[in-house]
Amino acid sequence: MDFNSYIRDIKDFPKEGIVFKDITPLLKDPSALNKAVNALYELVGNQKINKVVGMESRGFFFAPILATKLNAGFVPVRKSGKLPYRTISEVYTLEYGEDILEVHEDAIAPGERVLIHDDVLATGGTAQAVCKLVEKMGGEIVQFNFLIELDFLNGKDQIRGYEVKSLLHY
């Protein structure tokens, strides 16, 4: 299926000079959404996964569904101050600023096999921060999984040495 027709470019969002990849046309079409979930699932292959980590906020769309299909737990990674229990944190940069990501300190047990999912791989700052959080807890990162990869931003450079798979490349 050609998922490109379901991705809309929004210029100058969230700030001037950024072209935001809007996935809401994909999310609102039941057939396209189902096919995207299945395609993301197929990127994992038959690897054993214990936890699927999804990043706030658009990573939350697909990560819990992938966790269910993989018979794995879902771990939300959120911005600072949004999780109710004790957390560990990591500062990260993205193409338009800097922020802090947090995860519950008991979300991943040492040795658990982890799939990290997000909607877009851009500069790689968010993915790198999540990688550090998972590894602080002793998790083994099996793969990074993205709906969209913005190749021209070279985000893969920030997570070199890990398996990275994406459905769409721009």
Question: Considering the entire predicted model, what is its pTM?
Answer: 0.94
Tell me if residue 16 is catalytic: no
Domains of the chain: which residue ranges?
46-169
CA distance 139 to 53: 11
Return the pLDDT at 110. 98
Tell how far CA 79 is from the center of its chain.
Answer: 14
Active site residue 42: no
Token pair of 113 as six digits: 């096999």
Task: Please tell me the predicted confidence (pLDDT) of residue 14.
Answer: 86
pLDDT digits (tens, 9 = 90+) for 51-101: 999 999 999 999 999 999 999 999 999 999 999 999 999 998 765 668 999
Catalytic residue among 42, 56, 58, 102: 58
Give residue 47's pLDDT.
96
Measured CA distances, 44 to 38, 101, 113, 143 (Å): 10, 25, 12, 8
Tokens of 34: 């189902």
Hey, which bits of the chain come out as E strands? 8-11, 19-22, 51-55, 73-79, 87-94, 97-104, 113-121, 140-149, 164-169
Give CA 147 to chain center in angstroms: 8
Confidence at residue 95, expressed as pLDDT on a 0 to 100 scale: 59
**What kind of fold does domain 46-169 have according to CATH?**
Rossmann fold (3.40.50)
pLDDT digits (tens, 9 = 90+) for 21-48: 999 999 999 999 999 999 999 999 999 9
Average pLDDT over residues 112-134: 96
Residue closest to 106 by CA, chosen among 51, 54, 57, 66: 51
Distance CA 95, CA 114 (A): 26
Q: Determine the pLDDT at residue 98.
A: 83
Q: Which of 56, 95, 105, 163 is an active site residue?
A: 95
Question: In terms of C-beta density within 10 A (0-12 exposed, 13-18 middle, 19 or more buried), how is residue 34 classed?
Answer: exposed
User: What is the pLDDT, as a whole number, of residue 137?
Assistant: 98
